[in-house]
Structure 1
């Protein structure tokens, strides 16, 4: 299934964005970001007969914004992050969805307005301790999700060129294939990976590894993809083209592909969905 992310439609509740995408012919939507609304769950339920939803990361949007971080060593942030994921799992059940995906943890707790931008350098959590906290929390949540019939997927983080320079190190978890593999091996088999190809392109450039190595090293746990493109320096969620670098590395049969292209008209997003359909069909035929 090929989904379109609501993440690029800022300042609007997700049900309004979903209705607009539906009117353009989109039937599968990944709910991500958007604005808080007291009636959001009820409003989305009304669209379930016409749409298939999946939930991603900072969804449902809370009334009081915060940065979801399952790797935080701050007790309050950790507890709030667990509560957010538990609520997301419950919304999956309410909306009849089968997956919830979220970002790997951070070695710091960014402010809401720092996400997607240069984060000023500050002291970091101990990497090993943050990894242990992340694994413990995800394992706990995996049991809850499995009982609810919901699959959890972890998305690789993106280390921009600016943040790599600012910190002179990597303040994020699961940007590279080796750490991703090591963490995934310690998590329940029910937890899989969502590979964001745009995140991968940027992180590979910042950390000096070949992006295609992620697909090889982590192959058996990859069950979905986020698709967009960029200049290799920052995650800008630009449209992808027929000759994009990542096509040859995608599995054609995982069942979860999300067009995470921002600041485009719905008609452009439909064209992106059509391109994904075409490319996946060609990949299947070549196997």
Structure 2
């Protein structure tokens, strides 16, 4: 199986240390948004003797912001688009199979707000943010087609707390299967797909009340890669997967895709155990 490990597993390690660990232990790595700014990020990842992909906000800029393809702030939106375009060009350079970014937000949160209760409300109607998001995706898709690399959108996560605080108007795009399908209905391309985050979908299912397994099945034709971690259904905690992992029965369907283990604070033994679990799940009969 093609399994990458997110740098979230190595929270207290530097970029150089992560690359060294990966090279010595034959790990494939997803360089993700948890890493701080490093002036030599691109050159270090380029030189790494491992299979690797980059994700969303990596490499973090010197002046932090939240990558938001639905932002009504022209500067933030253009900065986000430019980041994705550069990431796609870099993906081609390092022979990565795809580059993925998060679906948009109907507000511009501070970097410290992510994963917590969101602050300010939506400035305009949700439809306005959706239209801006579609325009951004269409722009980036053209670059994806040009460089021959898949551009994937990762589903957002909606907690009950954020849903209630916004008076049950979802401030995050592409949390539920119906809206994700609408995205791929409106922007149809062989170079656009879904990075399914199973943990995000679990929390959003609990909040919005849609069927979890049925939701995945309805999205199967769009799924091109998968993020794996687990939680209690209340918040996205990036817990390790185990033998109770809800997604295991679906693994045989997606065994040929790239998979990313996105769990926090893991040692090498725990990482290897979870790689073995994913492989075992994938071999189960349908």
What is the TM-score of this pair, normalised by structure 2? 0.93
1:228–1:238 Cα contact (<8 Å) kept: yes
1:226-272 CA distance string (max 9 Å, x none): 10000100000000112211111232334211000001213211211
In the alignment, which residue of structure 2 is the partner of 1:269?
271
Is it true that 1:172 corresponds to 2:172 in the alignment? yes
1:132-185 CA distance string (max 9 Å, x none): 111111111111112112101111100012212222221000100111101111
Is it true that 1:232 corresponds to 2:229 in the alignment? no
Please give the alpha-carbon distance, in whole angstroms, between the structure 2 residues aligned to 1:137 and 1:129.
13
**Structure 1 runs not aligned, ≥5 long:** none
Q: 1:259 aligns with which of 258, 261, 264?
A: 261
In the alignment, which residue of structure 1 is the partner of 2:126?
127
Label 1:141 to 1:18 Cα distance change in 2 as closer, same or farther (>3 A): same
In the alignment, which residue of structure 2 is the partner of 1:245?
246
Q: Answer with 87-96 or 67-76: which moved more.
A: 87-96
CA RMSD, aligned part only? 1.6
In the alignment, which residue of structure 2 is the partner of 1:109?
108
Please give the alpha-carbon distance, in whole angstroms, between the structure 2 residues aligned to 1:224 and 1:213.
18
- Helix, strand or coil for the counterpart of 2:221? helix
Label 1:79 to 1:62 Cα distance change in 2 as closer, same or farther (>3 A): same
Please give the alpha-carbon distance, in whole angstroms, between the structure 2 residues aligned to 1:21 and 1:270.
12
Please give the alpha-carbon distance, in whole angstroms, between the structure 2 residues aligned to 1:22 and 1:71.
37
1:198–1:228 Cα contact (<8 Å) kept: yes
In the alignment, which residue of structure 1 is the partner of 2:30?
30
In the alignment, which residue of structure 2 is the partner of 1:218?
219
Please give the alpha-carbon distance, in whole angstroms, between the structure 2 residues aligned to 1:120 and 1:18.
36
Q: Answer with 140-149 or 87-96: which moved more.
A: 87-96
Is it true that 1:82 corresponds to 2:81 in the alignment? yes
Return the offset for 1:124. 4.1
Label 1:124 to 1:204 Cα distance change in 2 as closer, same or farther (>3 A): farther
1:31–1:55 Cα contact (<8 Å) kept: yes
In the alignment, which residue of structure 2 is the partner of 1:200?
201
What is the TM-score of this pair, normalised by structure 1? 0.92
1:194–1:224 Cα contact (<8 Å) kept: yes
Please give the alpha-carbon distance, in whole angstroms, between the structure 1 residues aligned to 2:246 and 2:105.
27
Label 1:17 to 1:173 Cα distance change in 2 as closer, same or farther (>3 A): same
**Structure 2 runs not aligned, ≥5 long:** none
- Helix, strand or coil for the counterpart of 2:8? coil
Number of aligned residues: 281
2:157–2:204 Cα contact (<8 Å) kept: yes
- Helix, strand or coil for the counterpart of 2:121? coil
